Chain A
Amino acid sequence: MKCRICGSKAIISLRRHNTSFCHVHFNEFFLKQVEKAIKKYSMFSRDEEILVCVSGGKDSLALWDALNKLNYKTKGFYIHLGIEDYSEESLEKVETFAEKNHLPFIVKRLGTGKTIPELSKKSGRKKCSVCGIVKRYFFNKIPYEENIDVVATGHNMDDEASRLLGNILKWDLTRLSKHEPVLKAEGMMLKRKVKPLMRLTDYEIATYALANGIDYIQRECPMSKGATSIYYKNVLNRLEEKSPGTKQYFYHQFLKNIHIFQDVATRADQIKRCNICGMESFSEICSYCRLMEKISEG
């Protein structure tokens, strides 16, 4: 298989684009897709500092790498979730990447008794649900403390398509109405969230990471076994195998028509301050503090 542009040996075949690229031209394609998403959805400008949420996985490290190559001003942010040796190993990947590229980063460690396995056990809630609450809380709190207005995550097209499938199966209109690659800032503390990898798939991102020597954690989070999102991804990948471009069409056509859901969805409540931690929230006590209350009661 030859590169469509220069004719040299290809490293990737993109069935959904009916094309193939060598290493050099795949990198060009990849960075172009990231820049295209940033511009199309007005995610951020080169004047802004971007907090890149990194997990040590392929998506977030590839995102950090791409933003750095595109000359955006970034700072990494890693939450040590206290998940067995997995958290230590993924932190090592983040540290190695940051040192190699001379990039600054912040590490937030969850305190003793507040790791994801402990929070899940004490609260009786599912591990992925607890993890989501913790991450969403610190994805606002840390940038607020650091005075950074933009938070970028490594969510990709497969993540978004599988979440879309899940929300459609439940006809969750509120979630569907908010399912955009940019979540606007609200109040003073709820920061703008952006997904610059929304035009790229798991396969393309892993190829980019491996081809460019980005050392990422290849094993899955031990807490995510049996996660519904992975099941939905597998279903979509089976469809993609039969009909290349299905995932892209499914997700991008939805974005073109998202206004339909935004017109009918229930409006969010007024923004308030959490009575316990003082962070802005849509309820009197934010989800994170409610979780903390629950574990202290138990």
Chain B
Amino acid sequence: MIEAVIKGQGIKKCTKHRVKDLLKELDIPSETAIVIKEGEILTPDIYLQHGDTVEIIPVVSGG
């Protein structure tokens, strides 16, 4: 289980371990949020470990 802390939206538990799949599970299009673990920006191919916590920062802003 991965813990996803979505900025401004709370915490969600996810079953998928690859960043790309985790975003899909959360129904977040891949280029609308940045996934960070321990201060490091993760690319979609990265596999997370069971028990990891990631921060998800939405990037879409009002024009």
Contact = CB atoms under 8 A, between A and B. Distances in A.
A1 B31 contact: no
A229 B62 CA distance: 6
A218 B60 contact: no
Interface in A222-267: 224, 227, 229-230, 233-234, 237-238, 240-241
B38 interface: no
B8 interface: yes
Contacts of B61: 57-59, 202, 220, 230
A221 interface: yes
Interface residues of B, number: 19
A10 interface: yes
Main secondary structure of the interface of A (DSSP, over half): helix
Contact of A11 (B31, B41, B59, B62): B41
Nearest to B32: A237
Contacts of A224: 62
A287 to B, nearest CB: 19
B10 interface: no
A215 to B, nearest CB: 13
Interface residues of A, number: 38
B57 interface: yes
A219 interface: yes
Nearest to A128: B62
B31 A218 contact: no
B6 to A, nearest CB: 12
Contact of B57 (A12, A210, A229, A234): A210
Contacts, number: 79
A13 B63 CA distance: 24
Interface stretch (A44-52, A141-149, A157-165, A270-278): A157-165
Interface string B2-34: 000001100000000000000000000111101
Contacts of B48: none
Given A57-B61, A221-B62, A207 B41 contact: yes
A230 B61 CA distance: 7
A262 to B, nearest CB: 22
Contacts of A155: 63
Given A207-B34, A241-B31, A220 B62 contact: yes
A221 B60 CA distance: 12
Most buried by A among B7, B31, B34, B57: B31
